[in-house]
Structure formats: C-alpha cells, structure tokens
Structure 1
Amino acid sequence: MASGTLPLEEKIDYCEAAYRQEKQPCHFRLTPLADDGIDAALASRGYGYFGETEVRLRTLDAAIRPGQGPKVHTYDRDSFFWRRGVAALTGQDKIKQAVFREMLTLIDLEIHALAILCGKEIVACGFGVQSPKLLGLFEFAVHPDFRRRGFAAHIVQHMLTKAQSSGVSHAYLQVVAENEIGKAFWEQMGFEETLYRYHYRTKS
C-alpha cells in the first residue's frame, strides 16, 4: 500500500513499455491511493482525463423485502444464453465479450448471474460477485422498450436479499459521476454513501 521507492517517471516509463509490448494504449486508473503527483505527470505526457466514477456502499443491516415483479432467472456463469443477453444489453462487442467470458472463469467467488425474460429474450440483467461479507454489483442493464417498469430494482432486491441471507453485510457498486439518472436510481436502492472516487488517464 506504500508508494514505493522508484522515481515516479521511471514507474510510468515501465508501465508504458508493458502496454507497448502488448500493442495496447496505456491506461492508468487513479484512486485516492495513487502516487502523489502522478495525475499532473500523466497530464504533462498528454494523457487525457475521463471516466470519473463513484464507488458507492450500502450496509445490509435491515431486512430487505423482495420487490414485486416478473420472475428473476438465475444462470450459471458458463451460460452462453445469459452472456449473450448481457452483451446485447450493455453493448459489448466481440472483444469485450471475450474479456467478460475470461473474467468470469477467473473469479473464484460466488457469482449471481440474473436476468428477466420476455418470451425467450433477456430484457434486463444484473451480475454480482459475492465474498463472505461483501457483494459487488455489476452489469445492470434494461432493454429500452422495458424501462420504467422496475425490472432493474427487482433484480437488485432479489440479489441483495439472497446475499443478506448468506451473511453478507455490505454491498458496493460503481457509477459514473456524470450519470445523474444512474446515481438517482442507486440512491433509491440504498446506495447513498460514496466511499471514494477514481478516474482514468489514457493515451491513445
């Protein structure tokens, strides 16, 4: 957790070389734990600023009443049907789909892969990663034709209820700071506390 002993510029050079070897643009995610001066140093190298994000926290200390709504379906992490639905709703291209699939195989924790169907198509989805005391919420999306029906809230409540019954004490998520609609929704779901913020610096 310490800042290390190498000069900052040398560390940045090392990271850039690693990305260059993989023929990828170099990205830095800067949290409150980032080295002092790194933000200004990256800006001076032409790195753009984007993706300011809030990490929000909710304590699961009160009974959560499952919401009313259509059936929430649970899938295995290997379900192609569920992954295809998530990709369609979140706009994943083929590269991002491959990354998401690989990520799922590497997670050594309990997975919540949830969806609501209309006929045989997924119209709302959510994804959770659960450790003994902590639940992370990701990949929530609803088809435009099915918004304003409480589908996302229904999936959230379903996931939180199950996690709480397993002894989970806190849930967290990430929401882009400029996404006012998203922030308002998550506040309604009880995620009012902003634990910290982070942002990215990237060079194309």
Structure 2
Amino acid sequence: MYPKAADEAAGGPRAPAAGIPLSAGGGGGGGGYYQAVGVGDATAAFAVQAAAQAPAAAWSTGLCNCCDDCGNCCVTCLCPCITFGRVAEIVDRGSTSCGTSGALYALVMLLTGCQCVFSCFYRAKMRAQYGLRESPCADCCVHCCCQYCALCQEYRELKKRGFDMNIGWHANMERQGRTAAATMPPHMHPGMTR
C-alpha cells in the first residue's frame, strides 16, 4: 500500500497510519497512496464541524419593536437611506462610508424601486457576521414585506452590540482602542536590583 522506497528510507517497515483517507497522493511512478489523518486531526475536524453547526443566536430585539428606539424609527420612516447607510458602514467594516451606501440605496430606490433586494444582502451579511437566526422568515421576505422594520431591527442590533451608530466604523474602532487602553493597568517597572 505504501511505496517501498519510503519503508527503506525510514529504516524498516512503517506502522500503518491511523485515520481517514483524505486524498490520493501521487508519487512519480503510477503507484499512488492515500495520506491519512491522525486521530488528533480527526478530532479537531469534528470540533470545527460541530462549531459550524452550532445553533444561531436570536436577535436582541424583535422585528416589530420599533418603539424601543423612536428616534431611529422616525428617521427610517422619513429617510430610510440614512439608516441603511449607517448599518451598511458597520456591516462592511468601514470599506464603504455611510454617505456612499445611503446614496446608492436612494439611487436604487429612485430608479428601480427594488431597494429591498439590495438591502436584504446586508441583512444576510450581518447575520453571518454575528451568527444570528434567519427569523421570522427569509431575509428577502423580511425586507420585501417590512423594509423599514428590518432596517430598524438591524440598527438596534448593532447598537446593542456596542456600536455608536452616529460616528461610523472607524470612529467606533478608535473609541474601542482608547477604551481598551484606558482600562489596562499601568505597566510597573521592577524596583532597584543588585
């Protein structure tokens, strides 16, 4: 099963590998062999698979809990592109600005009227980042039926996770860095030694 050259180079016959065959390895001369995963590697692979299948977390507020933040609710009803821009900047981790995302949302809304399709992608991206449940139904259905409620829920979720939605991604990261530095104890130098 294993090439003879490997046995001779190792100084005698090798013990068979324990584990699961992964892929066919190829030597230069036709007689391929399988590389096996050790027991420790198989356990680690199982742990990664179990973590991927972990149940998703619930949203911190319900879809129709707009009364929790009346200010944002009013802004979203009057100009949803502002709320969308703020959410998109945080979800994109600062790669697009609030103004750019909001303007793009307004443009899609004015030209096609299908802004719900555009914004549902951000809901899906946010759910993936924070491990949130797809509830109460699919992301596209939520945004097509309750566009404003969905935007408000996403805004509230990010706010409950510690983001100041008015200052954007970069200022939030700077503030978190300053807070972490302020809470760390001072570094003490050792006293005099002989």
Q: Please identify which structure carries the higher helix content.
A: 2
**Bin of the TM-score, shorter chain as denominator length:** under 0.3
Q: Bigger radius of gyration, 1 or 2?
A: 2
TM-score (norm 1): 0.25
TM-score (norm 2): 0.26
Q: Please identify which structure carries the higher strand content.
A: 1
